[in-house]
């Protein structure tokens, strides 16, 4: 289990099991400047400049803090183009943890998804998954395939005490394979855990059942292990069958059941890279040709060898409960504090970040005016906190140009691992609570520059009224000359 440290007066406070040795100076612009910067960025938090962000909760991807051991490992990298010892060390570590003989490197998770899609998705084929991720879906649909989400009914309930809301509906999975036909299923993707519905995990039991069904029908099982470390923490702490298992045993049990495992090391491994692991040489050969075509030679796949050395160490650190517990514990602290205040958030606390339920916080904003995007803009104005919209703005329009309204309208406040102090987390909680108290001031957004693909990355929007001026005025009234 993770380390338990009790406080004398009973406070439930997450305790970091690390110390900070490298720091980066932050700046908090005044509220008037924050409004100005938000509009210069087209009310898209992706387009904000980092120098203008005080607490960056946009993502946990590529922004996790490296350990001293990772930094040291980067100094021994072998940058040989072919036959690199760095590649051998990473490949051997993956074999040790996952039991996989073959490894194809890629520069990040979505690059691995591109390779998987190129190899296995054909026009008219279906990819079944518990829930989609934006880039995953884009790669599949680009090649003429389609995506079907088979998450359990509880997965889309905002508030719940279900510990594994990311689970597949197993009956529906079996039914859809039979209806579509196994030969028309490109693969079944298991996202452990689910990004777009609150970082909710899957149980070990459910993932093993999915893999068993896949084997029964001769369909490929593919695990997206990008968020695996959080999911491991939840399996270990919430699932009775895993209570006496080590993290290594849980990981290997899952890996042994899967045909293919891919991951973004920007999440799993605390560095910048990714890759695809498998035991079957035929599967490896089917994907291998796409690595030099899209990524780089088979020994680095577009990654820096220094990052590869850091990933090798980071994967080992992922097997340490004291290392992987900090993120989930900080997220739970945020969720618990905001729930006590009455702020609608996704429960139970999951991985990746704290997810604000924009649909309930801003019920007066229609989905066509992007309530989660509006909440993200308001959050930056309120506190210099950059979050990420995970709602209709993150969806793609239907082929006829109509909106595809998201199942949930969420503002994700990601908690990068080993980055923030508890005082910074408490500051974010304070500004969320203030914004919740003034939620009636927040209005909608509309596009004035809308890309056709992945619009949430590049699109620019404007407020539908002068609501941002009113929010700034209320901030000044309540906080005076405070930043």
SS3 state at 414:
strand
Bridge partner list, 150: none
Bridge partner list, 400: none
Which residues belong to the active site?
81, 133-134, 224, 267, 390, 456
d(CA 440, CA 368): 18
Residues 157, 428, 339: CA angle, nearest 5 degrees? 35
Structure tokens at 50: 């980092």
**109 within 8 A of 224, measured Cβ to Cβ:** yes
SS3 state at 461:
strand
d(CA 451, CA 134): 14
Structure tokens at 280: 């079957």
Please report, for residues 80, 107, 263, 414, 458, the alpha-carbon distance to residue 272 in angstroms, rounded to integers and kept in the order given: 19, 7, 11, 17, 22
Q: What is the DSSP letter of 443?
A: -
- Which stretch of DSSP H or E encloses residue 326? helix 326-341
CA 350 to chain centre: 11
Rg (CA), the chain: 22
Provide the H-helix boundaries in 289-421: 290-294, 305-317, 321-324, 326-341, 358-361, 371-383
d(CA 123, CA 9): 62
d(CA 464, CA 467): 8
Question: What are the start-end ranges of the E strands in 178-309?
Answer: 185-191, 221-224, 260-264, 274-278
- Omega within 30 of 0 (cis) for the link into 193: yes
SS3 state at 420:
coil
d(CA 436, CA 378): 10
Quick count: other Cβ atoms within 10 Å of Cβ 404? 9
d(CA 354, CA 416): 11
């Amino acid at each position: 289990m993770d380390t338990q440290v009790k406080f004398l007066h009973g406070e439930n406070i997450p305790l970091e099991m690390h110390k900070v040795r490298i720091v980066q100076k932050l700046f908090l612009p005044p509220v008037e400047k924050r409004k100005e910067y938000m509009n210069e960025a087209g009310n898209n938090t992706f387009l904000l400049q980092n120098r203008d962000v005080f607490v960056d909760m946009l993502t946990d991807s590529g922004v996790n803090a490296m350990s001293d051991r990772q930094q040291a490992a980067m100094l021994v990298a072998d940058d040989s183009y072919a036959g690199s010892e760095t590649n051998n060390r990473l490949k051997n570590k993956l074999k040790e943890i996952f039991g996989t003989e073959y490894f194809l490197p890629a520069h990040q998770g979505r690059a691995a998804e591109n390779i998987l899609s190129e190899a296995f998705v054909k026009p008219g084929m279906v990819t079944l998954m518990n829930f989609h991720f934006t880039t995953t879906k884009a790669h599949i649909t680009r090649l003429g395939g389609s995506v079907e989400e088979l998450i359990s009914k509880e997965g889309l309930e905002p508030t719940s005490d279900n510990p594994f809301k990311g689970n597949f509906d197993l009956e529906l999975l079996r039914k859809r394979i039979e209806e579509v036909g196994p030969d028309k299923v490109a693969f079944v993707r298991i996202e452990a855990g689910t990004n777009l519905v609150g970082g909710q995990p899957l149980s070990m039991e459910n993932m093993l059942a999915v893999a068993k069904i896949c084997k029964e029908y001769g369909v490929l099982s593919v695990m997206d292990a990008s968020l695996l470390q959080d999911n491991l923490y939840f399996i270990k702490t919430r699932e009775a069958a895993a209570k006496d298992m080590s993290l290594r045993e849980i990981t290997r049990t899952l890996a042994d059941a899967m045909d293919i495992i891919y991951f973004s090391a920007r999440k799993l491994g605390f560095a910048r890279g990714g890759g695809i692991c498998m035991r079957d040489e035929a599967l490896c050969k089917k994907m291998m040709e796409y690595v030099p075509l899209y990524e780089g030679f088979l020994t680095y796949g577009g990654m820096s060898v220094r990052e590869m050395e850091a990933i090798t160490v980071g994967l080992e650190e992922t097997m340490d409960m004291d290392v992987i517990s900090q993120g989930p514990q900080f997220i739970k602290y945020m969720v618990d504090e905001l729930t006590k205040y009455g702020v609608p958030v996704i429960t139970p606390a999951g991985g990746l970040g704290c997810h604000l339920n924009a649909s309930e916080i801003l019920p007066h904003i229609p989905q066509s005016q992007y309530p989660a995007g509006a909440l993200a803009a308001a959050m930056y104005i309120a506190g210099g906190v950059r979050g990420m919209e995970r709602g209709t703005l993150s969806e793609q329009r239907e082929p006829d140009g109509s909106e595809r309204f998201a199942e949930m309208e969420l503002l994700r406040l990601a908690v990068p691992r080993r980055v923030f102090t508890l005082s910074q987390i408490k500051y974010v909680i304070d500004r969320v609570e203030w914004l919740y108290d003034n939620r009636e001031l927040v209005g909608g957004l509309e596009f004035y520059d809308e890309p056709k693909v992945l619009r949430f990355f590049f699109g620019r929007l404007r407020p539908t009224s002068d609501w941002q001026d009113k929010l700034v005025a209320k901030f000044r009234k309540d906080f005076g000359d405070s930043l």
